[in-house]
Amino acid sequence: MCSVFDVNDDAGIERFLEEYGVHHPQNMIFKRRARPTSEVSIVTARHDQPEIENAIWHLYLERDGNSWKPHKKYWSINSNWKKLGQRPEYRRSRCLIPATAWVESQSGKNPVEFSWGENHSPFFFCGLYKTWGDTLSCSIITLGAHPATKKYHEKSFPMIAPQDPSFIEEWLSGREDTTLFEPFLHPDIVHGEEPLMVQPVKRATSTEYSGDKERVG
């Protein structure tokens, strides 16, 4: 599962968003080691154009007085690809989550940071969102683990949007036919021309590294 990720403002996120015609980049939340249940930035097209909105990173919420908070009974920062067919959000409420890196560990031990290329190239996680009045929530879709990443995290790998404007448009379209996404429901350790890189960190939430960066696979 993906449980910590970065959105680094030194990595050209605004230029990246502009390439895909995403509006309101000034609303981006930049942070290192974004954690579950925190507010993060997502891209939706629910107002007929791709735009940055902010959401609670936990798909299911519950009432908390006049506001909303993560639901105690339903841990939902990730959505497993095997259950996507059961989720109405997959058919109607897909989103993208801008990022520059993410952290995984093996049963809570030996955490590592994954990124694309030497310079943390920006990318999109594929995700789902829900609306709760004026509040949005989201989750990151997780796929099965790639053979080359199982030694770092044996259970899963996040779904990364390909560098293809037509995919981005279809993903955000809200069209209910999801069959065209089936070829993308498998992990890939190449993103455009950028290889997947991995580097050990001292703790999952730490920005201190404990080893050298190397190419995966």
* Per-residue pLDDT reduced to its tens digit, 111-139: 999 999 988 999 999 999 999 999 999 99
Task: Give 145-148's long-range contacts (Cβ < 8 A, gap of 24+).
Answer: 145/187, 146/187, 146/188, 146/189, 148/189, 148/196, 148/216, 148/217
Q: What is the pLDDT of residue 3?
A: 83
Number of domains comprising the chain: 1
Domain boundaries, position 200: 4-215
Q: What is the pLDDT of residue 108?
A: 82
194, 121 Cβ separation under 8 angstroms: yes
> Measured in whole angstroms, how far is the alpha carbon of residue 92 from the centre of its chain?
18
3-state secondary structure of 109: strand
Residue written as tokens 């259970």? 155
Q: What is the pLDDT of residue 11?
A: 65
How confident is the model over 199-217, as pLDDT tens digits? 999 998 999 999 999 999 8
Q: Where are the beta strands (DSSP E) in 156-215?
A: 156-158, 190-191, 194-200, 214-215
**Low-confidence spans in the chain with pLDDT less than 50:** none
20, 44 Cβ separation under 8 angstroms: no
CATH of the domain at 33: 3.90.1680.10
